[in-house]
A and B are shown apart, each in its own frame.
Chain A
Amino acid sequence: MYFFKKYKERMIVIVIAIILLVVIGYTSVERVNLTGPERVIGNILSPIGKVTMSAKNKVTGLFAFVGDIFSAMEENELLKDEITRLEIEIRDLENVIGRSDFLKNEQNLINSTENNLIKAKIIGKEPGNWYDNFTIDKGSKDGISKGDTIVQGVEIENQVYVEALIGRVLDVGDNWAKVVSIIDEWNSVSFKIIRTQDGGVISGSVDSSLEGYLFDYSADVISGDQLYTSGLGGVYLSDIYIGEVNEVITSQEELSKRITVKPAINFKKLYNVFVIVK
């Protein structure tokens, strides 16, 4: 017993470390449900976060208004530049529209599919510098279940609105849910290029950009091509807009075609999202 007395504290520290490692190992695989303590802590903290977040948004709005008065002059100059830029952009877009009739058909199809959407508010973003996860204020009480797709509406062409992919629900509490975004390292999305129907996989990286590769080495892909989810694997619903191809990198050695993708969503400025309920 002398041994136990002498090294009591060290043994406690080692036991705690082992318990924590077991927890890490246990939770690093995909889990079905939240455990009891997790549910309790989340249920207490998320309403408080909601109130603070909305108060902060109000204060930020006030400062922004005062700032607007002073910046009106500069804004005038900026807008003139903007008009020039937009005129160039319109020419480019007309070119794209004229080239692809089926693009329009596909979009009409998207408009006609009525997904069951639930509106949700973001109540907290992950504080660290490593990941881009966040929590929303709707949970299992509102009918959200694990694996649901998170989207936001964006306009991709004149008056054409589509759902753009943000991420998927990772865990659900009673009145909150943990969401992992597509720019996260852990998340891979199977996509297809709408123009040629070529498929591939993209995933986020630690520095918050989207990168991926195409299944077919000889696939015809140019920068500006639009990506949609293909629905392969059943993780995401099919035909949800992801973004545009930014750059195509062909490497002879690896016999693969890599692309970088510019997502349709600005992940730094997310406040409201929609959940597609199955």
Chain B
Amino acid sequence: MTNFLIVLTIVINTIFQMTILPDLRVYGIVPNTALVIVVILALLKGRIYGGIIGIAIGFVQDILFSMVIGVNGFIYFFIGYFAGFARDSFARDNVMNPVIFSILATIFYNLLYSLFMFFLSVDITVNQVVKSVVSLELIFNGIAAVLIYKLLQKIFSQPKIRFTRNR
């Protein structure tokens, strides 16, 4: 059931992101909801789920739109995997935690993306890298993280008391 809900989340997000979201541009910038969803699901479900979801979302995005397959998959995989380490140690009730993780992930994403672009021989200047990292996307992703966390927490929350060892 959980796996089905995760697949459904990925599909709905992809459709939302490719049809409605590009029209909601503010100063030409859109929030990256895929990134936020990877971070939040990783926080809720752990590093192994995080990694797998990251690869899935990244590959769907790569296959549908970009020239090079795997760049988004690679970045989302590591974001999901590393964010998942914090599953057992972060306070679930505090909504600021996913926000901070999302903002850090956005910085990480843009830096790594520029690095890939550099090695794929795209003409990119330091100026553009800084501009992509320090942009409104940080704030937008933070806001998106609050909304998506409230939504996904209800769907994917687990019982607090458990009788088996955590993985």
Q: Is the interface of B mostly helix, strand, loop or mixed?
A: helix
A 26-71 contacts with B by CB, 8 A: 27-28, 37-38, 41-42, 45-46, 48-49, 52-53, 56, 60
A127 and B73 contacting across the interface, CB-CB below 8 Å: no
Q: How large is the interface on A (under 10, 10 to 19, 20 to 34, 35 or more residues)?
A: 35 or more
> Does B14 make an interface contact (CB < 8 A)?
yes
In the complex, which of the residues A28, A129, A134, A185 contacts B68, with contact meaning CB atoms closer than 8 Å? A28
Classify chain B: how many residues form its interface, as a range: 35 or more
- Contact segment of B18-26, B92-100, B148-156, B157-165: B18-26
* B contact residues around A48 at 8 Å (CB): 11, 15
B14 and A45 form a contact (CB under 8 A): yes
Contact yes or no, B70 A24, CB < 8 A: yes
- The answer, yes or no, to whether A215 is at the interface (CB within 8 Å) is no
Known: A21-B74, A178-B64. A27 touches B69 (CB 8 A): yes
Summed over the interface, the residue pairs from A and B with CB atoms below 8 Å come to a total of: 119
Which B residues are in CB contact (< 8 Å) with A104? Answer: none
Chain A residue nearest to B59 in the complex (CB): A41
Q: Chain B nearest CB: distance from A83 CB in Å?
A: 30
Residue B34, interface by CB 8 Å: yes
Report yes or no: A207 in contact with B67, Cβ–Cβ below 8 A: no
Q: Which of A1-22 contact B (CB under 8 A)?
A: 13, 16-17, 20-21
A222 to chain B, nearest CB (A): 27
Q: How far is the CA of A16 from the CA of B51 in the complex (A)?
A: 10
A264 interfacial contact with B, CB 8 Å: no
- Contact (Cβ within 8 A) B73 A20: yes
Q: Give Cα A130–Cα B32 distance, bound, in whole angstroms.
A: 11
Report whether A53 and B67 are in contact in the complex, using a CB–CB cutoff of 8 Å: no
A27 CB contacts on chain B under 8 angstroms? 67-70
Question: Does A131 interact with chain B (Cβ within 8 Å)?
Answer: yes
Contact with A along B71-84 (1 / 0, CB 8 A): 10110011001000
In the assembled complex, which residues on chain A have CB atoms less than 8 Å from the CB atom of B78?
17
Cβ proximity bits A169-181 to B, threshold 8 Å, 1 near / 0 not: 0100000001010
Within 8 A of B (CB), among A97-138: 123-131, 133-135
B70-A185 in contact (CB<8A)? no
Q: Which of B18, B67, B116 contacts A186 (CB 8 A)?
A: B67
Whether, in the assembled complex, A23 has its beta carbon less than 8 Å from a beta carbon of chain B, the answer is yes
Q: A232 — which chain B residues lie within 8 A by C-beta?
A: none
A86 within 8 A of B: no
Taking the nearest CB of chain B, how far is it from the CB of A52, in angstroms?
5
A56 CB to nearest chain B CB (Å): 6
CB–CB B18/A124 < 8 A: yes
Chain A proximity of B124: nearest CB distance (Å): 7
Minimum Cβ distance to chain B for residue A50 (Å) = 9
Please, how many angstroms separate the alpha-carbon atoms of A60 and B74 in the complex?
36
- Inter-chain contact A56/B30, CB cutoff 8 Å: no
In chain B, positions 1-41 with a C-beta closer than 8 Å to chain A are 11, 14-15, 17-23, 25, 28-30, 32-34
Residue numbers in B under 8 Å from A124 (CB-CB): 18-19, 64-65
Given the known inter-chain contacts A125-B22, A127-B30, please indicate yes or no for A52 contacting B15, CB distance below 8 A: yes
**A21→B11 CA distance, assembly (Å):** 25
Residues of chain B within 8 A of A42, CB atoms compared: 63-64
- Could you show 28 A-B contacts with beta carbons less than 8 Å apart? A13-B81, A20-B77, A21-B70, A24-B68, A24-B70, A24-B116, A27-B68, A41-B63, A45-B60, A49-B18, A52-B15, A56-B20, A124-B19, A125-B18, A125-B22, A126-B65, A127-B18, A127-B22, A129-B29, A129-B32, A130-B113, A130-B132, A131-B66, A134-B65, A135-B65, A178-B65, A186-B67, A206-B128
The 5 closest A-B pairs by CB, nearest first: A124-B18, A127-B17, A23-B70, A126-B65, A24-B70
Interface residues in chain B, defined as those with a beta carbon under 8 Å from any beta carbon in chain A: 11, 14-15, 17-23, 25, 28-30, 32-34, 51, 55, 59-61, 63-71, 73-74, 77-78, 81, 113, 116-117, 120, 122-124, 128, 132, 135, 137
